[in-house]
């Protein structure tokens, strides 16, 4: 029984670990004492130049464990051989949560992302949600942009300011939320974001940049909503749509 609990605790811990890469990104993370660091990974072929020396000094100041790897091994950790610059870092994101934790919330307004693959869009969505009236983002691991330096840059430092709930696919959580209103954003919907009634548990689903919300996900929603637009404009960038939802009062 203890072994089983130990496994669950270990799994829960590593679910919150996000690996980032690149010398400038690593320096920024090490300079921010609010970001909890698990481990620093370095290629053993790195020359101790200005940036690398800065990273080593900062890691020493914070007493962070450093593991050295062959360049190919480091690339397997960073998953981006072309841009990791011989450095990767594991951070513990306490705001990165299992989607099942939503079931413990009494009230919430969430934005769920269906197939959002552009890192800049994801970062801007996170920024808008952090600034607005949103309690978190549901981000599936399948067919979605991963948390990366590009996402961090586009979020302008807001990545860890609100919960991001991870899952493999949206259907694994939507099918278990019977008391929640789930709305798909669609340019073809008759109802609009301004005509819905307040509800203490609501999720707004934003779809892929080119195809919108998938049919499979839309079938799990209670209703579809549109954003009224003038002058023949057909659609908005998904990050702009997220901003409008984030600052709605209901």
Q: What's the N-to-C CA distance of the chain in angstroms? A: 45
The structural domain count of the chain equals 2
Same domain flag for 104 and 213: yes
Distance, CA of 85 to CA of 22 (rounded, Å): 5
The Cα–Cα gap between 183 and 191 comes to 10
Do 211 and 100 fall into the same domain?
yes
Report the CATH number that the domain containing residue 125 is assigned in CATH: 3.40.1280.10
Q: How would you classify the pairing of strands 164-167 and 96-98? A: parallel
Domain membership of residue 181 as a residue range: 96-246
108/215 same-domain check: yes
Residue with tokens 């399948």: 142
Whether residues 31 and 138 fall in one domain: no
Residues 127, 49 share a domain: no
Per-residue pLDDT in tens (0 to 9) along the chain, 250 residues: 456 778 777 887 788 888 999 999 999 899 988 889 999 999 999 998 899 999 999 999 999 999 999 999 999 999 999 999 999 999 998 889 999 999 999 999 999 999 999 999 999 999 999 999 999 999 999 989 998 888 988 988 788 889 999 999 999 899 899 899 999 999 888 899 998 888 899 999 999 878 899 999 999 999 999 999 889 888 889 999 999 999 987 5
Q: Tell me, yes or no, whether 43 and 100 share the same domain.
A: no
Q: Which of 68, 92, 116 is the last residue of a domain?
A: 92
- Quick one: 77 and 110 in the same domain? no
């Amino acid at each position: 029984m203890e072994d089983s609990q130990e496994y669950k605790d270990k799994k829960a811990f590593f679910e919150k670990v996000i690996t980032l890469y690149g010398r400038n990104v690593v320096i920024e993370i090490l300079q921010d004492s609010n970001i909890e660091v698990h481990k620093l990974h370095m290629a053993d072929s790195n020359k101790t130049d200005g940036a690398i020396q800065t990273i080593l000094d900062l890691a020493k100041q914070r007493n962070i464990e450093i593991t050295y790897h062959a360049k190919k091994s480091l690339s397997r950790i960073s998953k981006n051989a072309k841009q990791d610059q011989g450095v990767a870092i594991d951070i513990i994101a306490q705001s990165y949560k299992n989607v099942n934790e939503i079931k413990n919330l009494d009230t919430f307004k969430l934005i769920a992302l269906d197939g959002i693959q552009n890192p800049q869009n994801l970062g801007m969505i996170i920024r808008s949600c952090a600034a607005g009236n949103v309690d978190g983002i549901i981000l599936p691991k399948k067919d979605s942009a991963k948390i990366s330096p590009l996402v961090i840059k586009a979020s302008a430092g807001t990545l860890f300011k609100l919960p991001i709930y991870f899952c493999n696919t949206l259907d694994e959580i939507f099918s278990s939320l019977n008391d929640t209103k789930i709305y798909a954003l669609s340019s073809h919907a008759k109802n609009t974001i301004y005509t819905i009634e307040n509800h203490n548990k609501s999720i707004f689903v934003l779809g892929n940049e080119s195809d919108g919300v998938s049919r499979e996900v839309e079938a799990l929603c209670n209703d579809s909503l549109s954003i009224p637009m003038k002058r023949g404009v057909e659609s908005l960038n998904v990050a702009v749509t997220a901003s409008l939802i984030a600052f709605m009062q209901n």
